[in-house]
Amino acid sequence: MIENPRADELVDAVAKWIDSIRPGLPPRDAFLARVAANVLSVVRRELQLGPQADAAAMERLSALLGETGEVKALNALLCEKLRSGEMDAETPGLIAALKANITDQIAIDQPNYSATGS
Partner 1 sequence: MEVDISEGLRALAPKLGCETVSEVQRLSAGASMETWAFVAQGAGGRQEMILRRRPGPFDEEAARSTSLATEAALITAAEKAGAPVAPLVRLCQPEDGLGEAHITARIAGETLGRKIVTDPRFEEIRPRLAGQCGKILAQIHSIPPAGISLKSADALGELDRYESLYRSFGTERPILELAFQHLRKHAPAPMPEVLLHGDFRNGNLIINETQGVAAVLDWELSHLGDPAEDLSWLCVNSWRFGMSSRPVGGFGDYQDLLDGYLEAGGVEIPLSRVRYWQALGSLKWGVMCLLMYSSYATGTTTSVERPMIGRRVSETEIDLVNLLEAGL
Q: Which residues bind to partner 1, rule: CB under 8 A?
A: 28, 32, 35-36, 38-39, 42, 72, 75-76, 78-79, 82-83, 85, 88-89, 94-95, 98-99, 102-103, 105-106, 109-110, 112-118
Instruction: Collapse the DSSP code of 100 into the 3-class scheme (helix H, G, I; strand E, B; otherwise coil) and give the result.
Output: helix
Compare residues 5 and 99 and give the one whose CB is closer to partner 1. Answer: 99
Instruction: Collapse the DSSP code of 67 into the 3-class scheme (helix H, G, I; strand E, B; otherwise coil) and give the result.
Output: coil
Compare residues 1 and 83 and give the one whose CB is closer to partner 1. Answer: 83
Compare residues 13 and 76 and give the one whose CB is closer to partner 1. Answer: 76
Compare residues 10 and 36 and give the one whose CB is closer to partner 1. Answer: 36
> Is the dihedral angle over the CA atoms 65, 70, 71, 77 positive or is it negative?
negative
C-beta of 31: minimal distance to partner 1 in Å? 8
C-beta of 75: minimal distance to partner 1 in Å? 5
> Is the dihedral angle over the CA atoms 23, 29, 34, 39 positive or is it negative?
negative
Q: What angle do CA 27, 33, 36 make, to 5 degrees?
A: 150
